[in-house]
Structure 1
Amino acid sequence: MRSKDRIAYFYDGDVGSVYFGPNHPMKPHRLCMTHHLVLSYDLHKKMEIYRPHKAYPVELAQFHSSDYVDFLHRITPDTQHLFSNELAKFNLGEDCPVFENLFEFCQIYAGGTIDAARRLNNQVCDIAINWAGGLHHAKKCEASGFCYINDLVLGILELLKHHPRVLYIDIDVHHGDGVEEAFYFTDRVMTVSFHKYGDMFFPGTGDVKETGEREGKFYAINVPLKDGIDDTSFTRLFKSIISKVVETYVPGAIVLQCGADSLAGDRLGCFNLSIDGHAECVRFVKKFNLPLLVTGGGGYTKENVARCWAVETGVLLDTELPNEIPENEYIKYFGPEYSLRIPNGHIENLNSKSYLGTIKMQVFENLRCIQHAPGVQMQEVPPDFYIPDFDEDEQNPDERMDQHTQDKHIQRDDEYYEGDHDNDQNMEDV
C-alpha cells in the first residue's frame, strides 16, 4: 500500500471560457464550476496544481493526421465558409461546430492529458487528474461527438513509452469508440467501455461481440447496457469485470475516463447512477495502486458534472466532502438545496439480472482467450519530445489577484525531469 498518493491536477481557466454555441449541449463552463468547487472544499491544498502546456501541432499529429491538425489550426468562424469541402471531410458541423479559439481549446485539454501522462511516467505523482480531457470520440482524421482531438489516445501513447501494457476504462454513457478504434489491433492497450447500447444511441458501436482484431483480438472489451441501470447493478458489474481484467491483463498503468453523462438526470444520458455510485467506480480503480490518469468526458447537466468531479477529486484524495456546498463564485447554480447529493433517477431499469449475467459471462469468456499477462517486446523508451516554452516571470503568490488571473499563474508543467536534457534533438515520439 502506498503511504500517501501524490496527486497532480491540471487546470487552465481558459478552457471554461470557450462557447460551442447556443443550444449546443457541450458547455465547457462546467470545468470552471468544477474547479471552483474543488477550491471551495480546499482540495487544492492537498494536490500539486499545474497549468498544462498547450500541446504543439506536432504532438497532436502523433495520433491525428497532420492535414486534420493543420485544418483545425487554420479554421475560424469567420473563414469557415471558405472551407466547405474540408468541413465535410473532417466532420465539422452541427455536432462539432467551429467556434472562437477552437484550436487553443484542443491544445489546452490535450496538453493537460499529455502532461498528466508525463508526470506519471517520470514517477513524480501517483495519480494525475485532467477534468478537461476525456474527449473519447475523436478519430484520427475527423471530429466526432463534440470531440476534436482525442487527448486520451495521446495520453495512452505517452504512457506506452514506459509501460508495456496500459488499461483504458470508460464509464461515460457513450461508447469510447475513438479510443477503442485507435488501439483495436494491438495487445498493448486493453480498452474496457461500459455504455448504453442500442436504440440508435450515439455512436452506435460497442456491442459485446466487438473484441478487437489481429494482435488486438480480445483486447477490446465492451459492456453494452440498457436504459436505467442503477448504482447497485452498475457497480457490482463494474467491480467484477475490472477485477478480472486487472488480474488477467496485469497493466502497468490505468487511464480512467469519468464521463458524467452516465449520472441520473443528464440532459443526454439515460442511466440512473447517483454521484456516489459513479464515484464508487473511481474509488475501486484507485485501490489497485497503479499509476492512474483520470479525465472527464461527457456530462451535459453542468451543475451535476461539477458536483461529480469535485466528489471524485475528493475520492482520489481520500477526502470525504461535506454535503453542504461552501460559498463559491458559482453557488447560485447549486440551489435551492446547495448540496452535493443529487436526486435518484426514475428511468425504469431495463437491465435484468439475467441480461447482466449473460454480458458478464461473455466478457469473462473473452478474457479467458488471452494469455495471462501477455508478453510485450520492450523497446528502448524514446525520450520525451518537448519544445521548451518557458515563462519564468514568477509573480509574488501573496499578491491579491482575481481568480482568472490566479488560474493563469498556476505553475506551468514545463520543468525538465532528470535525463531529459536531450529532448530537443528528438522530433518523433512514438
Structure 2
Amino acid sequence: MKPHRMKLAHHLVVNYDLYQKMDVFEPHWASADEMKVFHAPDYIEFLQRVSPANQRDMAMDMTKYNFGETSDTDCPVFDGVFDFCQIYTGGTLDAVVRLNFGLCDIAINWSGGLHHAKKASGSGFCYVNDIVLGILELLKYHPRVLYIDIDAHHGDGVEEAFYVTDRVMTVSFHKYGDYFPGTGDIKDIGAKNGKYYAVNFPLHSGMDDDSYESIFKPVIEKVMETFCPSAVVLQCGADSLTGDRLGCFNVTTRGHGECVRFVKGFGLPMLVLGGGGYRIRNVSRAWAYETSVLVNQDVSNNIPYNDYFEFYSPDFKLHLVPDKDLKNDNTREYLETHKIKIFENLRSLTGAPSVQMHQPPPVRMLREEDEDAVDPDLRSENDGKHQHEAEFYHDEHDQDNNEVPEAPDVVPMDVDN
C-alpha cells in the first residue's frame, strides 16, 4: 500500500494528458471527528498517538488494534501514519461531497479504497475505512448505494459495516480459501434487514479476463435490476491483476478496465477508488488506463515518457499480457453454479427498499474563516479553491477555472435505518 504507487499513477495520468478532461482538486485532510463517524473514538485516538518511536511503549494497544509486523498483524506503524489516513480519507469525503452536490458524475480517488479496516481496528494494511465513511456520506442524499469490490481480497470491512442494513448492497469478487482475510463465502448474505444484501462470489486462483467477464457482467446487471441503486462505489483493487506479488489471478489491465467500463455504463453517480496492488508499475498501469476509460479517452499502448519511465521496462507498454503458464482453477461449471446461486438469493428480495424523506442533515460546507485553523478538527478548506496553480496546466489558458456552482436543492434520505 505504499504511497509511491500514487506518484507513478499520477505521472501516467498527466503524461497521457488525461487530466485535461478532469477537474483536479486538492482534498482537505480529514479530521479525527470525521473518522469517528464510523470508527471507535479510542481507536482513532490511538492512531493519532502511535509512532515508530513509541510503539514499544504501546505494546498492549498495538495488539488490541491489530498493529505491528508479525505473523498475526499486518498494519505496520510508520512516521506520518495518521497524516496518511487524513489525506486519503479526505479525498474520498470530498469526492462524495461533489457527487452529492451534483458537481460531477464520476469522482476518482485512487489513494482511497482501504476496505479491510474495521470499526475499532486496522487490518490488511488498512487503517481508516474511507469507503465506509464515503458511503455514509452518500446515504445522506441517496436512498440506496451499491458497493462493488474487484480487489483480489474480500472487502470484509465494508461488508461488515453494512451487514444488517438494506440501504447498502455489497458485492465482492475475490479469492477465497486459504487467503486473507478468509471471509466472503457465498453463504455470507447479510443478516436481519440486510439479509441478501451482501453478495459474495468466492473464486479460485487463475481467474482470467474471459472468466471474470462471464460472471461480473451478469451478476452486476442482475444486482442493478434488483437493488436499483442511486449511487455506486467501485473499489478497483489492482492486486487482481496478473503478476501481482500478493495476488493469484490472471486478469489483465484490459479485463480489469472492462469492469470499470461496464459499471460506468449504467450512468449512475459513481465514486471510483483504488485499493490493493503490490506490483506498483502494474497498479499505475491499471489506474491510468481506467482513468482513460472513465473520461472516454483512448490512450496509446506505449507508455509516455515520464519521471518513472524506467519502471515500465523492458516493454514500456501500458497493457499487461496474461501468464500463459498460470492455470485457471475456476471451471465453467463452478462459476455457473455460483452465479445461479447468487441469482436465487437476489430473487429472494421483495424489491428495492424505500426510504422516507426528512429534513436535510447538516451539509459538509466549508467555511472560509476556518481555512487557517491550526487544528485539523477545526480547519476546513474549500476544495474549489485548491486546484494546483501549475501542475495540471500547460499554460494559464489551458483550462477555465470557473467558480464552483452552488449545491442544488436536494431532499436527502434518512440514514438511520
TM-score (ref. length: structure 2): 0.88
Offset, 1:188: 0.1
> Distance between the aligned counterparts of 1:386 and 1:138, measured in 2?
27
Q: Which amino acid aligns with 1:91?
A: N
- The CA deviation at 1:184 is 0.1
In 2: Cα distance, 1:96 partner to 1:396 partner: 32
1:110 aligned partner: 89
| Superposed displacement of residue 174, structure 1 | 0.1
Residue 44 of structure 1 corresponds to: 19
Tell me, in whole angstroms, the C-alpha distance in 2 between the residues paired with 1:209 and 1:193: 13
Aligned match of 1:139 in 99, 118, 142? 118
Aligned counterpart for 2:278 among listed residues 300, 304, 313:
300
Matched, 1:358 2:337: yes
How many percent of aligned residue pairs carry the same amino acid? Answer: 56
The one of 209, 213, 223 equivalent to 1:231 is 209
Deviations 1:386-411 (A, max 9, x none): 5644379x899777x8x9xxxxxxxx
Deviations, residues 402-429 of structure 1 (Å, cap 9, x unaligned): x9xxxxxxxxxx9794489xxxxxxxx9
Residue of structure 1 equivalent to 2:6: 31
Residue type of the alignment partner of 1:180: E
State whether structure 2 residue 265 is matched by structure 1 residue 287: yes
> In the TM superposition, what are the counterparts of 1:324-335 in structure 2 within 5 Å?
324-335=302-313
Asked whether the 8 Å contact 1:164–1:378 carries over to 2, the reply is no
Amino acid at match of 2:27: P
Q: Displacement of 1:341 after TM fit?
A: 1.5
Which of 43, 53, 56 matches 1:81? Answer: 56
Distance 1:171 1:83, change over 3 A: same
- The structural deviation recorded for 1:272 is 0.6
Amino acid at match of 1:369: S
SS in 2 for 1:48: coil
Q: Report the Cα distance in structure 1 between the residues aligned to 2:295 and 2:89, rounded to whole angstroms.
A: 23
Q: CA deviation at 1:100?
A: 0.6
Question: Which of residues 207, 215, 222 is equivalent to 1:244?
Answer: 222
- Aligned-CA RMSD value: 2.4
Ranges in structure 1 where 5+ consecutive residues have no aligned partner: 1-25, 404-413, 421-428
SS in structure 2 of the partner of residue 378 of structure 1: coil
SS at match of 1:364: helix
SS of 1:194's equivalent in the other structure is: strand
1:308 & 1:163 partners in 2: Cα distance?
29
Counterpart amino acid of residue 134 in structure 2: G
Choose the corresponding residue for 2:326, options 317, 342, 347: 347
Q: CA deviation at 1:307?
A: 0.3
- Checking the alignment, whether the CA contact within 8 Å between 2:145 and 2:229 is kept in structure 1 is yes
- Aligned equivalent of 1:258: 236
Change (3 A) 1:342 1:395: closer
Contact between 1:250 and 1:373, CA under 8 Å: does it hold in 2?
Answer: yes
* Match for residue 134 of structure 2 among 141, 155, 161: 155
C-alpha distance in 2, partners of 1:381/1:64? 23
Cα distance between partner residues in 2 of 1:380 and 1:349: 52
Shift, 1:336, TM fit: 1.6
Give the whole-Å Cα distance in 1 for the aligned partners of 2:54 and 2:151: 34
Deviations 1:118-163 (A, max 9, x none): 1000000000000000000000000000000000000000000000
Please say if 1:98 is aligned against 2:77. Answer: yes
Report the CA distance shift for 1:417/1:64 in structure 2 as closer, same or farther (over 3 A): farther
Amino acid at match of 1:53: H
Q: Secondary structure at the match of 2:202?
A: strand
The residue identity in structure 2 corresponding to 1:197 is Y
Instruction: Give ranges in structure 2 of 5+ residues lacking alignment.
Output: 372-380, 393-402, 410-414
